[in-house]
Amino acid sequence: MRPLAVDPARHPTGRGFFCAASPALPPFLPRMNTASSTRAEQRPRRTACGWLLGVALLVAVVLAAFASGQFPITPAQLLRIVWARLLGAESGLPAAMETVVWRIRLPRVCAALLVGSALSAAGAAYQGMFRNPLVSPDILGVAAGAGTGAVLAIWLNLPLEAVQLFAFIGGVLAVAAVLAIAALVRRHDAVLVLVLAGVAVGALLGAVIALIKTLADTETQLPAITFWLMGGLNAVTAADLRVSAPVVLAALTPMALLRWRINLLSLPDEEAASLGVPVARLRRLLVVAATLATASVVAIAGIIGWVGLVVPHVARLLVGADFSRLLPAALLLGSGFVVVADTLARTAAAIELPLGIVTSLVGAPFFLFLLARSGRRE
């Protein structure tokens, strides 16, 4: 069969539509850009490699934490101990080493992972919700409330479990007071009222903490109050993790399920409402979830600063502002950051340093570096 020929003079390209010798496509079909299609195919691969690299770095940081300290435990020894516990057999290693793993090192590393992930996720949620990159998880007074509850319990000579319970209740009550004040003031912008109410409640609770420190016994109570406010994981046990971990998991669940709607909160309230988002209800839900996550980890670890402020910044630089990618990136980076900071706190000096001091020494200069770097770009 002979190919169908078209008069070149009747076609603007000089070739026929269906001529066998013509490789040209009809003008109504889009031409594919080979370079852009190749980049589009490579982008998911790079994304998957990036996530795998993040998980691998986190595993390496955890193994380094086990291998650091006065009783270093190599990855092979750790694997033998864990495998023997799973099989119910003997590991063949000294009993002291197993005690260090199960009662000291493992609860502490798990607590660092939990604290870092909770504070980073809460910070990322708050920064997107308030449309402000300078917002941290304690913007609504949860840290000040938890500190007030813990300081009050220490001043009353209550046991450690009561201190943690008072800290959790204090953080929740502080944010509840902020929400109640914001509900009473409806004439102004809702986000602005929340921030200002949080600043006022935090300042008031800070004055209460200073008052209790003044009245506390200088020999016993005041040192305990000071060290608790500086934060640390040296007193965290497996029982504490069994209580706080489910609360953190329950708080992170709505953040993960509503990650697409959280992106719309970065828009003005009127635009987000026009897209079908219940702005006020979603904002209250996020505040409750972030408060529960923050209060639960502050109750067991004390006040750990700069994690919820710096880590979301770094995650945003790496993966962008889309909350569906920002949340898992913040979880990975935050947990790894606190593990590294806690490892430095217990190995950098002859005595153990408070974790809050280490995170501040690392986080504050790094935040200033990010601020100067973004200023040069603008």
Closest CA to 58 of 362, 343, 332: 332
pLDDT at 14 over 60: no
Which tens digits make up the pLDDT trace of 171-223? 999 999 999 998 888 777 778 888 899 999 999 999 999 999 999 999 999 99
Spatial neighbors of 214 by CB under 8 A, at least 6 apart, are none
Using alpha carbons only, give the angle 157, 158, 159 rounded to the nearest 5 degrees. 120
Which tens digits make up the pLDDT trace of 137-181? 888 999 999 999 999 999 999 998 999 999 999 999 999 999 999
DSSP alpha helix (H) spans, the chain: 34-67, 75-87, 95-99, 106-129, 142-155, 160-184, 190-215, 221-230, 238-257, 259-264, 269-274, 279-301, 307-319, 323-347, 355-377
Q: What are the extents of the domains in the chain?
A: 61-373
pLDDT at 25: 45
Share of the chain above pLDDT 70, in %: 87
Residue 321 burial (10 A CB sphere; 0-12, 13-18, 19+): middle
Rounded CA gap, 149 and 68, in Å? 34
Rounded CA gap, 189 and 181, in Å? 13
Tell me yes or no: is domain 61-373 CATH 1.10.3470.10.
yes
Rounded CA gap, 161 and 163, in Å? 5
pLDDT at 33: 55
Which tens digits make up the pLDDT trace of 242-266? 999 999 999 999 999 998 889 888 8
DSSP 92: S
pLDDT at 26 over 60: no
pLDDT at 41 over 60: no
Share of the chain above pLDDT 90, in %: 61
Report residue 89 as tokens: 């057999």
Report residue 186 as tokens: 């409806």
Which tens digits make up the pLDDT trace of 118-129? 999 999 999 988
Q: Are 302 and 356 in contact (CB under 8 A)?
A: yes
Spatial neighbors of 224 by CB under 8 A, at least 6 apart, are 154
**DSSP string of 225-251, one letter each residue:** HHHHHH--STT--HHHHHHHHHHHHHH
How distant, in Å, are the alpha carbons of 103, 132, 236, 307, 358 from that of 109? 11, 31, 10, 16, 16
pLDDT at 71: 87
Rounded CA gap, 233 and 297, in Å? 10
Amino acid at 176: A
State the average pLDDT for the chain. 86
How long a stretch of residues is the chain?
378
What value does the mean pLDDT take over residues 313-337?
93
pLDDT at 275: 86
Rounded CA gap, 93 and 79, in Å? 11
pLDDT at 297: 95
Three state DSSP letters for 111-146: HHHHHHHHHHHHHHHHHHHCCCCCCCCCCCCHHHHH
pLDDT at 30 over 50: no
SS3 category, 219: coil
Closest CA to 118 of 249, 241, 272, 14: 249
